[in-house]
Amino acid sequence: MPRIRPFRPGDEPALADICLKTADAGADATGIFADDDLWGEVFVLPYVARHPEFAFVVETDDGRVAGYVVGAPDTRAFEDWFAGSWWPRFADRWPRPEVERTRQDGTLIYAYGRRGGAEPYGDAHPAHLHIDLLPEVQGQGWGRRLIDTLAAALREAGVTGLHLVADARNEAAIAFYERIGFTRVRSHDGVQALAMRL
* Tally of structural domains, the chain: 1
182 falls within a domain: no
Torsion over CA: 33, 147, 58, 143 (sign): negative
User: What CATH number corresponds to the domain at position 89?
Assistant: 3.40.630.30
Predicted structure pTM score: 0.95
pLDDT computed for residue 120 by the predictor: 78
For residue 38, give the 3-state DSSP assignment: helix
| Residue 188 counted as domain residue | no
Q: For residue 31, which amino acid is it? A: G
Domain annotation covers residue 181: no
Section 101-120 average pLDDT: 92
Is 191 contained in some domain? no
Is 54 domain-assigned? Answer: yes
Query: For 92-117, what is the mean pLDDT?
Result: 95
* 128: in domain: yes
Does residue 187 form part of some domain?
no
pLDDT reading at 87 higher than 90: yes
Nearest to 15 by CA among 5, 7, 3, 6: 7
Examine residue 103 and state whether it is found in any structural domain, yes or no. Answer: yes
Please report which confidence band the pLDDT of residue 141 belongs to, taking 50, 70 and 90 as the band edges. very high
For 79, the domain range is 3-160
Tens-place pLDDT, residues 20-74: 999 998 899 999 999 999 999 999 999 999 999 999 999 999 999 999 999 999 9
